[in-house]
């Protein structure tokens, strides 16, 4: 526009110079027409001067016309070059814009497909989680059944242990009771410490949840911290998995050892009962033998003598009762053997006090009875020694078994506490992971909503900017059109004034000028007409040029607007790419969390293999065992693992009976 104004000023100056020359020519003709009474000599000189001036005016007009033609050609060349450049730029801009639009559409479709795939994956993972939860519920029910059976077993064992304590409770020292109480207190303290650790873990989990909420507010600043925390949590999860595996392995081993010990204890108790029955039979036999001997001895002592003052029936009965009491005392200790032997010796010594007046037959019988008593004494001493050794060994084994039972009880309580702690930890981990997944789903939904809102806002802003630009372009067009109209009016006024003045001058000079002047005037009129025609043509062309310049300016404005819109679209694309990258990172984090959870569930499902090993050990012992009582316990264990019905369990127990 500035260059066009400069060109217009130049053209105006040339036109003004041409008008000045023409006005000077008209003034000269007037002066020549007025003094007609001058001499012929002066007329010739003036003609020469007029011709010179006309030549100068013609040269000036030619120079101005040449300058105008040069500028015209230059402007046309520049306009053509600019037009070509603008067309090329426009084509390049359109091509680049179309290419970028295609790329953007392709990327948008890719991201939409990825989002759909992720949604499908999330839905599938949710279904898998529901299935896993159902499986976990079933596993928990099975574990509860197993725990109930173990508790029943525990109650039975405690009942048996209480019976054993009632039988052999007096022999356990008070020191052991104090030691057991101390161990129980220590275990309680350990339980308290473990509960404190669990509370600290829960507090840490709550803190992690709070840090996750803060992570939503400050995502870019806390990325590194979150990654570090995620690594720590993974390490902790791996450690917990390893610990759980070790605990399950150790528990299975201990349970197997406990079952083996329980079976051994049951066999020992059965052997002890058998020995007890055998001892009772031997005691009954000995009592019968003693009764026979007492009868025989009473028969020998009841001799019809009036002088026998020492041997009386009451004394014999008292002696027999004393001997029977001494025999009963031999059950508990070996000291009874010595008392029995001393009593027998005393009785034998008393027998020596039989009066010498008795018959030789009875003396021989007494000697024979002494020998039999000595033999019986030796047999009784040997039997009592064997019984004492057996009872001492049984007592030692009972004491050891009591200690082992107490240790086993303490271990069982420890294992139960550890199982409860592991279950609580599993529940807490599941709740924590469920919370994390729900929070991530909420964040994904919020981000999608924010993304849609941002897209709508960007579209609205672009539309508003386009409307503003169109309004500004329309204003600029109106201004340029008004300026062009003003300039056209000025040019038309100048042309009309120039033509009117030129016509008036021609009319005045037509009557007075000589033939030479007429010829010069005709040449001048022809030059002026050509000038005017050229000026009109140039003005028309200049009007076209100005319109073209206006169009070029408008295109420049449109191109600048398109560049701005392109920059804005690129910035919006970058923002969208950043948002999609953030969403991808979140989805990757979710996938990693879900993978870790799947690993945990797989590790929890691996317990089925351990249950199979446990079942194998129980079946192996069941096949080797012959005791029906221990077989019943083993049947309970097998039924809990294999999920037998009550009718099947009853049929098996009836078959074992």
Residue 1 pLDDT class (50, 70, 90 cuts): low
Task: Give pLDDT tens digits for 260-282.
Answer: 776 676 677 677 677 777 877 88
Say whether 1 sits in a helix, a strand or coil. coil
Residue 185 pLDDT class (50, 70, 90 cuts): confident
The predicted structure's pLDDT at residue 353: 39
Task: Give pLDDT tens digits for 581-621.
Answer: 888 788 778 778 877 777 666 655 544 445 566 677 778 88
Q: Is the pLDDT of residue 102 over 70?
A: yes
Residue 216 pLDDT class (50, 70, 90 cuts): low
Spans of all domains in the chain: 1-24+50-166
Are residues 638 and 611 in contact, defined by beta-carbon separation less than 8 angstroms?
no
The predicted structure's pLDDT at residue 176: 62
- Residue 41 CA, chain-centre distance (Å), reads 121
Distance CA 586, CA 592 (A): 10
Please, which residues have CB within 8 angstroms of residue 480's CB and are 6 or more apart in sequence? 1, 550, 553
Q: Is the pLDDT of residue 107 over 80?
A: yes
Q: Is the dihedral of CA 230, 231, 236, 238 positive or negative?
A: positive
DSSP string, 460-529: HHHHHHHHHHHHHHHHHHHHHHHHHHHHHHHHHHHHHHHHHHHHHHHHHHTTT--HHHHHHHHHHHHHHH
Distance CA 225, CA 516 (A): 107
Say whether 645 sits in a helix, a strand or coil. coil
Share of the chain above pLDDT 70, in %: 57
The predicted structure's pLDDT at residue 633: 77
Q: Containing H/E element for 67?
A: helix 40-168
Q: Is the pLDDT of residue 525 over 80?
A: no
Distance CA 315, CA 404 (A): 52
DSSP string, 316-337: HHHHHHHHHHHHHHTTT-THHH
Q: Is the pLDDT of residue 131 over 80?
A: yes
Task: Give pLDDT tens digits for 400-431.
Answer: 666 666 776 777 777 667 677 767 777 776 77
Higher pLDDT, 388 or 261: 261
Phi, psi for residue 559 in degrees, rounded to 5: -65, -45
Are residues 340 and 380 in contact, defined by beta-carbon separation less than 8 angstroms?
yes
Higher pLDDT, 497 or 78: 78
Q: Is the pLDDT of residue 105 over 80?
A: yes
Mutual angle of helices 360-509 and 40-168, in 10-degree steps: 170
Q: Is the pLDDT of residue 362 over 60?
A: yes
Residue 580 pLDDT class (50, 70, 90 cuts): confident
Distance CA 185, CA 191 (A): 10
Instruction: Read off the pLDDT of each residue in 235-258 and give the average, rounded to a whole number.
Output: 72
202-239 burial by CB neighbour count: b if 16+ within 10 A, else e?
Answer: eeebeeeeeebeebeeeeeebeeeeeeeeeebeeebee
Q: Is the dihedral of CA 530, 531, 534, 536 positive or negative?
A: negative
Between the ranges 522-531, 545-554, 640-649, where is the mean pLDDT highest? Answer: 640-649
């Amino acid at each position: 526009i500035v260059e066009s104004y400069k060109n217009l000023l130049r053209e105006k100056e040339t036109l003004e110079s041409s008008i000045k020359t023409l006005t000077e020519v008209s003034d000269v003709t007037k002066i020549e027409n007025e003094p007609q009474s001058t001499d012929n000599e002066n007329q010739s000189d003036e003609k020469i001067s007029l011709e010179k001036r006309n030549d100068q005016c013609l040269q000036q007009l030619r120079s101005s016309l040449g300058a105008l033609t040069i500028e015209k050609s230059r402007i046309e060349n520049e306009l053509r070059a600019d037009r070509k450049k603008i067309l090329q730029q426009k084509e390049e801009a359109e091509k680049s814009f179309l290419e970028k639009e295609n790329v953007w559409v392709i990327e948008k479709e890719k991201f939409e497909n990825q989002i759909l795939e992720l949604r499908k994956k999330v839905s599938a993972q949710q279904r898998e989680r529901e299935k896993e939860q159902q499986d976990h519920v079933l596993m928990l029910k099975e574990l509860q059944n197993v725990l109930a059976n173990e508790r029943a077993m525990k109650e039975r064992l405690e009942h048996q242990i209480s019976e054993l304590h009632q039988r052999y409770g007096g022999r356990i020292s008070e020191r052991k009771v104090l030691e057991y109480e101390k161990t129980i207190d220590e275990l309680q303290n350990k339980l308290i410490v473990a509960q404190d650790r669990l509370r600290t873990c829960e507090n840490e989990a709550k803190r992690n949840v709070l840090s996750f909420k803060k992570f939503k507010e400050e995502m870019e600043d806390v990325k590194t911290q979150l990654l570090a925390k995620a690594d720590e949590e993974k390490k902790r999860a791996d450690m917990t998995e390893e610990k759980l595996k070790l605990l399950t392995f150790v528990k299975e081993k201990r349970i197997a050892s406990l079952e083996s010990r329980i079976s051994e204890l049951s066999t020992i108790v059965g052997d002890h009962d058998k020995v007890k029955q055998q001892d009772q039979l031997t005691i009954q036999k000995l009592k019968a033998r003693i009764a026979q001997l007492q009868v025989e001895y009473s028969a020998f002592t009841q001799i019809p003598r009036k002088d026998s003052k020492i041997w009386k029936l009451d004394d014999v009965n008292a002696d027999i009762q004393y001997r029977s009491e001494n025999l009963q005392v031999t059950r508990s200790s070996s000291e009874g053997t010595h008392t029995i032997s001393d009593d027998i010796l005393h009785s034998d010594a008393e027998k020596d006090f039989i009066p010498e007046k008795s018959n030789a037959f009875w003396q021989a019988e007494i000697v024979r009875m002494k020998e039999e008593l000595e033999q019986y004494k030796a047999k009784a001493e040997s039997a009592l020694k064997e019984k004492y050794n057996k009872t001492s060994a049984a007592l030692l084994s009972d004491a050891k078994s009591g200690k082992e039972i107490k240790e086993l009880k303490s271990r069982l309580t420890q294992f139960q506490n550890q199982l409860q702690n592991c279950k609580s930890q599993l529940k807490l981990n599941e709740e924590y992971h469920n919370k994390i997944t729900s929070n991530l789903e909420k964040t994904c939904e919020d981000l999608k909503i924010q993304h849609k809102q941002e897209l709508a806002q960007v579209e609205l802003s672009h539309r508003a900017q386009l409307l503003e630009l169109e309004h500004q372009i329309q204003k600029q067009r109106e201004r340029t059109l008004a300026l062009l109209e003003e300039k056209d009016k000025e040019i038309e006024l100048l042309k009309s004034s120039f033509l009117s003045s030129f016509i008036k001058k021609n009319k005045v000079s037509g009557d007075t000028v000589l033939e030479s002047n007429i010829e010069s005037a005709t040449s001048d009129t022809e030059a002026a007409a050509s000038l005017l025609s050229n000026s009109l043509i140039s003005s028309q062309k200049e009007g076209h040029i100005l319109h073209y310049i206006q169009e070029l300016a408008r295109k420049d404005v449109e191109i600048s607007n398109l560049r701005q819109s392109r920059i804005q679209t690129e910035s919006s694309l970058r923002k969208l790419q950043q948002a999609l990258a953030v969403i991808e990172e979140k989805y990757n984090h979710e996938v990693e969390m879900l993978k870790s959870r799947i690993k945990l569930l797989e590790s929890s499902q691996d317990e089925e293999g351990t249950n199979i090993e446990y079942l194998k050990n129980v079946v192996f012992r069941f096949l080797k065992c012959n005791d029906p009582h221990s077989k019943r316990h083993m049947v309970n264990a097998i039924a809990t693992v294999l999920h037998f019905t009550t009718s099947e369990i009853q049929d098996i127990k009836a078959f074992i009976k």
